Amino acid sequence: MPIVTIREALRQAMSEEMRRDPTVFLMGEEVAQYDGAYKVSQGMLDEFGPDRVVDTPIAENGFAGLGVGAAMAGMRPIIEFMTFNFSLVAFDQVINSAAKIYQMSAGQYRCPIVFRGPNGHAENLGGQHSTSADSLFAHFPGLKVVSVSTPHDAKGLLKTAIRDDNPVVFFESELMYGFKGEIPEGEYTIPFGLADMKREGTDVTLISWGKPVHTCLKAAETLAAEGISAQVLDLRSLRPLDHDAIFNAVAKTHRVVVVQEGHLYAGVAAEISARITESCFDLLDAPVLRVTNRDVVQPYATNLERLVVIDAGRVVEAVHRVMGRS
């Protein structure tokens, strides 16, 4: 199978869908003339022209709202936020318009739109550019929420998102656009609500999504050297959630650590922990633990940033606790 980067996988997904469906178009800051802030849309302006690859001003509320209106009128917009930190400016358009219009119009309007871009911290960007927004968007009915960790998942899930008749929030990572992996040749899609076991194991389950999946895989290697077999479950889809995969993983290992890039308080990890406790309490041999960023505003300085964000060492420490080895 061909090996591509995540940015190339995303570009293939968008380009293939734009060739297949003339109602699909891309809009966002620097997506056209500059080939994308992270070169995800490189070459797409030359192929599809300025009517379908549209540069916008730095006005997220405006172009997100324009996209919602276009979707209601029969188009399938892909709205790229340069970072999901900036999506907070457009939160009203995503939550109060895109997510709710189908119900509030009694089914007269659908909103087939994709909001995509990098989520979470990169490096040395400070508090206002390091927000992990997955918990914010996953909270609201009417949205589908996806977070990808590999080129294979990025392409297959983005194609599914573009074809979906509902608004989809699609999380990527600025630090992972150059990450390489295999993708199948030819057409393929990946359904929402289907988690993927990235590594099999028997002693403990590490549950994560997006960039931290690779932190979990690194931790699993360290644990294997200690004689602890850790499996890594990549949720991929936060809404809808693959409950069966989660509960089956709990039944197999009886110990769970949930790893999330965002803050501890009121996060997706807390929701997953609660659902496991409510539905699988008798299967647990230890409390569900969470590993998240420290519950502080992200610092700018490199040495302080490393103290705040999750790393494999903190995941290993949590596994030692659920295994009774601390």
Residue 139 corresponds to which amino acid?
Answer: H
| Residue 321 reports pLDDT greater than 90 | yes
Mean pLDDT, all residues of the chain: 97
Segment 215-263, tens digit of pLDDT: 999 999 999 999 999 999 999 999 999 999 999 999 999 999 999 999 9
Q: In this structure, are 155 and 240 located in the same domain?
A: no
Domain that holds residue 60: 3-182
Q: In this structure, are 90 and 166 located in the same domain?
A: yes
Instruction: Identify the band that residue 177 occupies on the pLDDT scale cut at 50, 70 and 90.
Output: very high
> Residue 170: its pLDDT value, please?
98
Q: Which helix (H) or strand (E) covers residue 158, if one does?
A: helix 151-163
Q: In this structure, are 129 and 256 located in the same domain?
A: no
- Residue at 187 is within a domain: no
- Residue at 191 is within a domain: no
- Residue at 134 is within a domain: yes
Q: In this structure, are 66 and 150 located in the same domain?
A: yes
pLDDT (average), residues 157-169: 98
Instruction: Name which of 202, 217, 205, 262 is nearest 238 in CA terms.
Output: 262
pLDDT (average), residues 287-297: 96
Q: In this structure, are 115 and 262 located in the same domain?
A: no
Q: In this structure, are 206 and 70 located in the same domain?
A: no
What does pTM read for this prediction?
0.96
pLDDT (average), residues 185-200: 97
The beta strand positions in the chain, using DSSP E, are 3-5, 24-28, 53-55, 76-80, 114-118, 144-147, 168-172, 180-182, 196-199, 204-208, 230-234, 237-239, 256-263, 289-293
Long-range contacts of 215-220 (CB under 8 A, 24+ apart): 215/259, 215/310, 215/311, 215/312, 215/315, 216/259, 216/312, 216/315, 218/312, 219/312, 219/313, 219/315, 219/316, 219/319
Q: In a 10 Å sphere around its CB, with 0-12 CB exposed, 13-18 middle and 19+ buried, how is residue 283 labelled? A: middle
| Residue 187 reports pLDDT greater than 90 | yes
> Residue 1: its pLDDT value, please?
87
pLDDT (average), residues 185-196: 96
Q: In this structure, are 305 and 254 located in the same domain?
A: yes
Residue 192 corresponds to which amino acid?
Answer: F
- Residue at 188 is within a domain: no
Instruction: Identify the band that residue 325 occupies on the pLDDT scale cut at 50, 70 and 90.
Output: confident
Peptide bond before 184: cis, by omega within 30 degrees of 0? no
Q: In this structure, are 136 and 18 located in the same domain?
A: yes
Last residue of a domain, one of 151, 182, 213: 182
Catalytic residues: 60, 129
Segment 196-220, tens digit of pLDDT: 999 999 999 999 999 999 999 999 9
Q: In a 10 Å sphere around its CB, with 0-12 CB exposed, 13-18 middle and 19+ buried, how is residue 150 labelled? A: buried
- Residue at 95 is within a domain: yes
- Residue at 200 is within a domain: yes
Instruction: Identify the band that residue 117 occupies on the pLDDT scale cut at 50, 70 and 90.
Output: very high
Both tokens of 7, joined, read 């940015």
Both tokens of 15, joined, read 């380009």
| Residue 162 reports pLDDT greater than 80 | yes
Contacts of 96 (CB under 8 A, 6+ apart): none
Indicate the number of domains in the chain: 2
- Residue at 148 is within a domain: yes
Supply the CATH number for residue 172's domain: 3.40.50.970
Q: In this structure, are 79 and 41 located in the same domain?
A: yes
Supply the CATH number for residue 232's domain: 3.40.50.920
| Residue 111 reports pLDDT greater than 80 | yes
Instruction: Name which of 301, 201, 309, 304 is nearest 262 in CA terms.
Output: 309
pLDDT (average), residues 141-146: 98
| Residue 326 reports pLDDT greater than 80 | no
Q: In this structure, are 65 and 168 located in the same domain?
A: yes
Any idea which residue has 């199948």 for tokens? Answer: 184
Q: In this structure, are 20 and 160 located in the same domain?
A: yes
Last residue of a domain, one of 182, 209, 239: 182
